[in-house]
Structure 1
Amino acid sequence: MFNYLAKSFDFEGRKNLSYSWNTNVFHPVNTSLNYGYTILESMVRKNINTIGLDVSIGYLHKIAPPKYPLVYGLQELFRYVIDYSAIELLETKLKKSDFITTESYHIRLKPNTTKLFIEKIKNNFNQRYEFKNKQHTLENMTFENIRELSKYITGNSKQLEFSIPGIAIKRNDNSQVRDKIMSIDPEKRKELKINRSTLWYQQKKIKEGKTIKIYNETRRGLNEQNWSCY
């Protein structure tokens, strides 16, 4: 997935032969994921402190002061939100110039890239899903799941069940469709009978890394060219 969206980055994975730890800061994709996970860690730690649990005692990670094993374990519940946000970020056609290389050759996000990534993370955590017969944002659900753990630990609940919804991806503008739309030039637009302002607006939104609505005229034109667009 990452290599499809950002072929020029040649992403091998979170670990490789040179760097065995996930904190590989010498690659743009890993840098983006690390930054997102740091935001998630801060959110989870704040909620744990609010509820009153001890962040230094965990279940999945060993106790090793001054680390926070409880934070690391609980953030796993929502790590996928960061992964999806990073995929959305790469859909904006990031280039190596969107990152900074420090004197120690570490990769850092440029301010504009950081701002865009934070917006996508916030947007995904603000999506609402059903939890205990009510609608909650994903951010609030991180708090509620930690509170459920607290009730179980203190004996106020005999059963512990975390609620982790999948992200609802309501879109039909997949990467292939977006690439096809971006490849349409003025001559091709006329051939496909797509309104000029419609195409301009869609290409503008794609360049900004935003989702787009596939209008009927665009869908018809793409389908006529056997460019599948459902």
Structure 2
Amino acid sequence: MENAELARTKRLPICQDTGMAVVWLTIGQDVHFTGGSLKAAVNKGVEEAYQGSYLRNSVVSDPVFERKNTLTNTPAVIYTEIVEGDQVVIECAAKGFGSENCSRIKMCKPAEGVEGVRDFILETVKLAGPNACPPMVVGVGVGGTMDYAAYLAKRALVRPLDSENENEQYRQLERECLEQINQLNIGPMGLKGRTTALKVNIEWFPTHIAGMPVAVNINCHVTRHKKVVL
């Protein structure tokens, strides 16, 4: 709590891992960009933000071989979606990897049903334990394809903590999972207690008759994200 208060009052990072930038661009189809590459502009903005705020550069240029720091915290992970309208919605998250490394995906069988989804969520949180720096936020993606379920899980992490799922069945599942997670006695920073998670957010999408992909993306208690509308 003292660390959080110092970060707030002195405007300092609450953790040394200031994350990999994940950016969602929701672009109205009437918007036209000029003057260069949109991707380059986003990465330039990320670079300036990290260097100007003296945040740690944590991105390496190659994931397997050289693993050389890019020194700009770029490239960012960028998602784009075209919608009706003339506005641009920019959402950014600084995703730390202590919790990211605890994330998992499973291609469940349809016969496993809601119990299979719930069990996989709880199993993932148990395996994460203190490594995800709880109390955590648990993002869950169900449906689509393997890759799209992972995308939905990431998207779920930026849903406001005071929001509720619009679907009654998924809303109830979120509540049940949160209650059971908080009975695991992992507690804040793994020191035991009744608050292991702050929220479980589930996003879903139609899927194939033969499958039921489930992805769980975990965030630590520092759920850093921001949304602006242009």
- Do both share a fold (TM > 0.5)? no
TM-score, normalised to structure 2, is: 0.23
**Structure with the higher fraction of residues in strand conformation:** 2
Larger Rg: 1
**Structure with the higher fraction of residues in helix conformation:** 1
Greater RCO between the two (CA within 8 Å, min separation 6)? Answer: 2
